[in-house]
Amino acid sequence: MKAVQNRKIVVLRSPIDINGNPQGGNYSFVSMKNYQHAVFHFIFGNVAGNANITLQQAKNVSGNGAKTLGFTEIYRTKTDASPEYNADRAEKVAVASDTHAVLAASDDNTHFEIEMKNDNLDVDNKFDCVRPHLSDPAAAALVCIFVELRNPRFAGDPSNVNVMPSALVN
């Protein structure tokens, strides 16, 4: 149970239906001030049009000074892999120019993950907020995006998840 208590999940983009209609969600930056590690999750069902995954960093959750956050690898899991025992195997994929292309049809039923540490941010220039970004696909896509913040950097009662600070405010 401790692993659940030492992380915070923030849904940034709730599912988009098969017709490309957003189903709500928070598209804000999340603050890393109180966390040491983040994992960005992109879960796709149907992908009818190509899109690009990137990361951004900013000086606050409002997005001030937003700029690219570099990453060099992404993990890809085909959740409908055959044979079925391959459906939980993550393949590390190299990324060029801080962007990963999600391809129509071939990336259907795929889970992508990007890991980052707080020290990947431009902290010298006061950047401490992040967000994953998916360019709008040219056609409908079923997708959910969330960030998993790990390793809290604050004192408090780790057995009470209700005391964890919000990641949506600075």
Q: State pLDDT tens for residues 72-116.
A: 999 999 988 788 877 788 999 999 999 999 988 888 889 999 999
Rounded-to-integer distance, Cα 149 and Cα 168, Å: 12
**pLDDT on residue 145:** 86
**pLDDT on residue 25:** 46
First to last CA, the chain: 28
Calculate mean pLDDT across residues 118-128: 93
Q: Given CA atoms 19, 13, 127, 119 in this order, what sign does their dihedral have? A: negative
User: What single DSSP character describes residue 16?
Assistant: B
Rounded-to-integer distance, Cα 104 and Cα 98, Å: 20
Q: Which amino acid is at 8?
A: K
User: What single DSSP character describes residue 96?
Assistant: B
Torsion of CA 92, 97, 98, 104, to 10 degrees: -70
**pLDDT on residue 55:** 94
Q: What pTM did the predictor assign?
A: 0.83
Prior bond of 165 cis (ω within 30°): no
Closest CA to 37 of 157, 130, 124: 130
Q: State pLDDT tens for residues 16-51.
A: 555 556 544 446 789 999 889 999 999 888 887 888
